[in-house]
Chains A and B, each alone.
Chain A
């Protein structure tokens, strides 16, 4: 065997190994040409197919003489001229399979290809076919495997995305606040997408700006990433996404999130926080590893944006509910619940810091007037405006006097100001003075200028932690005290005040029992005609004989009756009792014709149900309505300037008489008399007591009597105690009078006796009682 023959097997094995080692078919073909040319010491090797040179070596780039090579490939073994080579020997063998064509060699010179060489070349062509087929199969295999791997990776990626979404859903569900939620959300997303840092921007529609609400930085990014606090609509990727409402990726824009000076441009990704078309914010992620998101990643990001948006909506609703639970809907101020909580905390702080705190209980004086006259809406607007003023005053106190405070609304027109960090009660008084001074400037409500006054009760807790409810109650009491003391003022709570209140509560309970147990009585103050000193009528006066305390002065229990609402049933009882008594006297013939009974009316009784109560009393007793006189005080007319007009007209229409009591103590405006169609007036005892002592008193009484006469009103002088006063009144032609000079108010049966005696004299006086039984509250 020739050495060449023995060689060829090994040579082919090496050829196969070399060709197979290339990564792809084209490289393998080129490698095969290299080795074939080397084996045959040829300068040129080529694959010619379908009339074109598929691959060649031995020519520079693009310099292969294609046409000549194609011709040479057709001819088997030849001697020919080839451009760039000169005289050559060529050999060609067929190549089958995918690369079907011809394998061509060209050797410069005249050295023929031997039959052995041609055999080896044929064998090499077969080996090349095999190697190429193998490479193709391997490539296909690789392609399939790659596909499978890609699918597996895609599946894993999808699973990871789902896990990310779930993780974010869990974070959002577990987070109590947006602040607590954002950083874990950013961290989860950032790790999934390979970000170095991220920002949650929330849109501030008012300022057209995105504000950073959460920042996450990987530990590596802390040095290079300086988070910005805001970014405009036109600013960077986040601003663009806010405007466009669609997620976007930027391979190298300066991140809107990074405010670090000289920070390099970096890939960033931003996704809108939106559940629907309305974008409420943007999630932006920054990092050199962030790639363009594929559709699946975009879907995931959009879903996360929607999740965060829903979370924000839910949080807002919860916050609103929480706010509503603790705030007054009308003014937005803290309500009682929140106030109690604030007081409790303030108490703890006060004890710790050795400061005091005060609760100021405020009430608008005669607020009802506003509601009744201008309507509830106007009333509400007044409350809102007052709330604003109070808040401003408290805020100013914080700045000026280092007194921090909270304004709360409890109900209706009741406000509470909680003041903290007080040195002593003077600080609280100072705040109260400011409120009285500044909060009462005229209000413009619906074009009406309203002037109000405030009554304020102050309860100070110094060093001892009084229970919050107690402090409010104490301040409330002090406020009532301020009301009692004439409104438009403040009162400091003190311990005796509480004692008085407790007594009052006890008295109220007793009064309730008294009414139920018929312990109340009416006494009757005779009304005397000065002409003949005959008794022409009587004023019913309420008396309460307390089982334990004896006679209770009306000044003590009437206000209680008024405040507790007992005045209603008591007033009704008085009306019924007085009417019945008059009917008794009439039917028994104990009284002269036209005898009248007067009943005092408390302002608190002036309710829409009153005419019906009066009508019932008249009807039930069967008396002539004109024999019933209802006495009202001036303050009723002044206080309730508008609303009682209709009520009084209704009363008048029943046929009863209306008389103005205590004339001269208040505004003494004669216009009332005319306006309310009153039938008469009673001159207050303070004028009468001055008769004979100073001339101005006499002049005033004289003028009143003249005026009443001119208006055809009856005039009664009250509290006549001396013969001198009686003489003066006679001189002034005062027709009627009542007073101790004639009689102390006796019980009904005693008056019956007096009536039978026919004349009122000083002997009627009963020595044991020295004052009127019923005096309406001022």
Chain B
């Protein structure tokens, strides 16, 4: 299947290819062939199911584009123009003289999160100056506090360079994820691509969760464990304020189901609160465990949502991303969609979501993957999100 669109900009093109071939090498070759719709490819972005032999897969891709810079990662599900799916490989290709690309990889990330983020961002120094720029980051979602990686990248990129990307997945096995850089298959790494363009680049970040009641101060927290909200044990405050059903108050599985649609929101002055996915609760200590850091002293909202609100967010994200393009149709869109949103929306919901994005893209190809955490920084310094959709539109 080929999804590419004739560019209105003759010096820039974007192509997406996909393959569900069982043979890793063949799948890589097939997807790459489809993605390479133009000459002078500048970057390949690979999102591949954890089920593949990634070394063979890359070999298959490299057979089609030996010297093109390559970044990518393993996923918890892939997104292509054709829709969401699993056990596939989706390859996007960016090409043409209007793009410049430089890539980097930083290993051993869990031991030096901030440093690895800074190291990955160093490729910014090697990319040509053009009218717009973005730093694409693909990280190991299991490596630790992703906010530190983003801080590190920000320390190098500065406020002038937006960040976008996501955390690699492993089909929810939560064992190990892979990052791709050139011919290498890495783990515990941050890979990055600095992309500068003569055209516009837009980023949309939305989650669609609604706040419930007034915000509560986080009176005691340590890392990703919230012990107290507004002076009360966090679990008690959470269950009481949301009037949680009885089974969610005692049964872990029921709590997990309930929490999927009731994340925490960290106060933001001007935008949607940053969402923190609640991954579990300690019924004895009465604490909540989140997927990322919840700073003590901040304000937190309890949030709720449903398929409709989540899909509303998709629309909002598209609008935000495309707004930067001044009404021009995009060359293509890259989506970093939280695996938790996939759970909320269900299979039909995600199909509808991708269709919605494709529709807003006005025929431009879409590529993406379901993530273990999303990265988007356009304002302020915080750029790590949960249960959020990040869309990167290339104009």
Contact = CB atoms under 8 A, between A and B. Distances in A.
Q: Do A and B come from one complex?
A: yes
Interface of A: 3-4, 6-15, 17-18, 30, 34-35, 37-45, 57-61, 63, 84-85, 107-108, 111
Contacts of B219: 10
A764 to B, nearest CB: 137
A7 B299 contact: yes
B380 A14 contact: no
Contact of A43 (B124, B270, B296, B380): B380
B122 to A, nearest CB: 9
Contacts of A15: 297
B297 A38 contact: no
B116 to A, nearest CB: 16
Given A3-B217, A41-B379, A43-B380, A59 B270 contact: no
B208 to A, nearest CB: 21
Nearest to B122: A61
Interface string B238-255: 000000000000000000
A10 B215 CA distance: 14
B264 to A, nearest CB: 15
B297 A14 contact: yes
A60 B296 contact: no
B157 A111 contact: no
A60 B156 contact: yes
B218 interface: yes
Interface in B141-172: 151, 154-161
29 contacts: A10-B217, A10-B218, A10-B296, A11-B296, A13-B296, A13-B297, A14-B295, A14-B297, A15-B297, A30-B155, A34-B155, A34-B381, A35-B295, A38-B381, A38-B382, A40-B269, A41-B268, A41-B379, A41-B382, A42-B380, A42-B381, A43-B159, A43-B380, A58-B158, A60-B158, A61-B125, A63-B158, A63-B160, A85-B159
Contacts of B215: 3
Contacts of B155: 30, 34, 57
A8 B298 CA distance: 8
Contact of B156 (A4, A43, A61): A61
A7 B379 contact: no
**Main DSSP-derived SS at the A contact region:** helix
B217 A7 contact: yes
Interface in B284-307: 295-299
A129 to B, nearest CB: 18
Name the residue in B159, B161, B379 with the highest tally of chain A Cβ atoms < 10 Å from its Cβ.
Answer: B159
Nearest to A35: B295
Nearest to B221: A14
A38 B155 CA distance: 13
Contacts of B125: 60-61
A10 B298 CA distance: 8
A303 B298 CA distance: 67
B274 to A, nearest CB: 10
A38 B380 contact: yes
A15 B215 CA distance: 20
Contacts of B221: 14
B158 A41 contact: no
Taking each of A14, A17, A63, which has the highest tally of chain B beta carbons within 10 Å of its own beta carbon?
A14
A57 B381 CA distance: 9
B296 A17 contact: yes
Contacts of A37: 380-381
Contacts of B380: 37-38, 41-43, 107
Contacts of B124: 60
B146 to A, nearest CB: 14
Interface of B: 124-125, 151, 154-161, 214-215, 217-221, 268-270, 295-299, 379-382
Given A6-B217, A43-B380, A60-B124, A11 B297 contact: yes
A111 B214 CA distance: 22
Interface centre among B156, B219, B220, B381 (most CB of A within 10 A): B381
Contacts of A39: 298
A278 to B, nearest CB: 55
A109 B60 CA distance: 47
A41 B381 CA distance: 7
Nearest to B219: A10
A11 B298 contact: yes
Contacts of A13: 296-297
Contacts of B297: 7-15
Contacts of B270: 41, 111
Given A7-B297, A34-B155, A58-B158, 20 more contacts: A3-B215, A4-B299, A6-B217, A11-B295, A11-B298, A13-B296, A34-B381, A37-B381, A41-B381, A41-B382, A45-B381, A57-B154, A59-B158, A59-B159, A60-B124, A60-B125, A61-B125, A84-B159, A85-B160, A107-B380
A59 B159 CA distance: 6
Contacts of B151: 34
A247 B223 CA distance: 55
A3 B381 contact: no
A40 B270 CA distance: 11
Contacts of A43: 159, 379-381
Contacts of B220: 10
Contacts of B379: 41, 43, 108
A13 B158 CA distance: 27
Contacts of A6: 217
Interface-central residue, A11, A17, A30, A40, by most chain B CB under 10 Å: A11
Contacts of B158: 57-60, 63, 84
A755 B219 CA distance: 162
Nearest to B222: A17
B119 to A, nearest CB: 12
Nearest to A27: B114
A126 to B, nearest CB: 15
Contacts of A12: 297
A617 B380 CA distance: 143
Contacts of B296: 10-11, 13-14, 17
A251 to B, nearest CB: 27
Contacts of B156: 60-61
Contacts of B217: 3, 6-7, 10
A17 B221 CA distance: 11
A17 B222 CA distance: 10
Contacts of A18: 295
Nearest to B296: A14
Contacts of A42: 380-381
A44 B298 contact: no
Given A10-B296, A41-B270, A108 B159 contact: yes
A7 B298 contact: yes
B205 to A, nearest CB: 14
A13 B380 CA distance: 22
B70 to A, nearest CB: 25
B94 to A, nearest CB: 22
Contacts of B381: 34, 37-38, 41-43, 45, 57-58
A84 B214 contact: no
A57 B158 CA distance: 7
Given A3-B299, A42-B380, A43-B381, A60 B268 contact: no
A89 to B, nearest CB: 12
A8 B157 CA distance: 29
A192 B268 CA distance: 62
Nearest to B295: A14
A481 to B, nearest CB: 98
A61 to B, nearest CB: 6
Contacts of A44: 159
A60 B154 CA distance: 8
A9 B382 CA distance: 21
Most buried by A among B124, B219, B297: B297
Nearest to B155: A57
Nearest to B269: A41
Across the A-B interface, the 6 shortest Cβ-Cβ residue pairs: A11-B297, A14-B296, A43-B159, A10-B297, A41-B380, A14-B297
Contacts of A63: 158, 160
A687 to B, nearest CB: 123
A4 to B, nearest CB: 8
